[in-house]
Amino acid sequence: MKIICIGRNYIEHAHELNNPVPAEPVFFMKPETALIRAGLPFFYPDFSKDVHFEVELVLHICKLGKHISEKFAHTYYDKIGIGIDFTARDVQSICKQKGLPWEIAKAFDGSAPVSKFISRENFADLYDINFSLEKNNETVQKGNSGMMIFNFEKIIAYVSRFVTLKIGDLIFTGTPAGVGPVSIDDNLKAYIEGKKMLDLDIK
């Protein structure tokens, strides 16, 4: 399986990092070794002094597809979860300055903790899903799927022009504003519609 991540999908987050609002989705990938299943801790990597959390809704792909049209894109994901797109922001800044790829800042081991998933039928409105993140029991990020620049269908259609989607692939759909650093001994809790989905210790 592979993990596809959308960048700059919320206007306020693009602004907070001084990035332009994109005309087309921006995506990058993390390998399977980035995945942390719910319940396991995140170990702070030794190559960064500024690891940031980015809470994101995550789609679970349920069907093989290439060149998927927007119209049928909704049939290619069956479940929604929540995850953290951990980012070594100091390393990423250097990559950006040098015009280099982001992998060492984004794709490192453990950089993608993901919750259990909720079937899409359990959501009353997929374009109005509230989610949030607490750091040490204080809310630091709040988002709603309706605020995304590119919705789930647009993301699936765009990504599948370039990359075949396979069953079990995950798509991180972008983070709202409020990203910030974590430190060893911090705790992160991620919620969908007020339900705790992820409880993650930083070690």
* Interface residue list for Mg ion (CB under 5 A): 54, 85, 175
Burial of 151: CB neighbours in 10 Å, binned 0-12, 13-18, 19+: middle
CB of 69 to Mg ion, least distance (A): 26
Contact 113, 198 (CB under 8 A): yes
Instruction: Give the C-alpha distances (Å, rounded to integers) separating 15 from 55, 84, 189, 194, 199.
Output: 17, 20, 25, 26, 28
CB of 5 to Mg ion, least distance (A): 5
Judged by beta carbon, residue 66 or residue 101, the one nearer Mg ion is: 101
CB of 108 to Mg ion, least distance (A): 14
CB of 55 to Mg ion, least distance (A): 9
Judged by beta carbon, residue 66 or residue 151, the one nearer Mg ion is: 151
Judged by beta carbon, residue 93 or residue 119, the one nearer Mg ion is: 93
Judged by beta carbon, residue 68 or residue 107, the one nearer Mg ion is: 107
Tell me the two tokens of residue 102: 């982001």
Q: Which of 148, 156, 202 is nearest to 177 (CA)?
A: 148
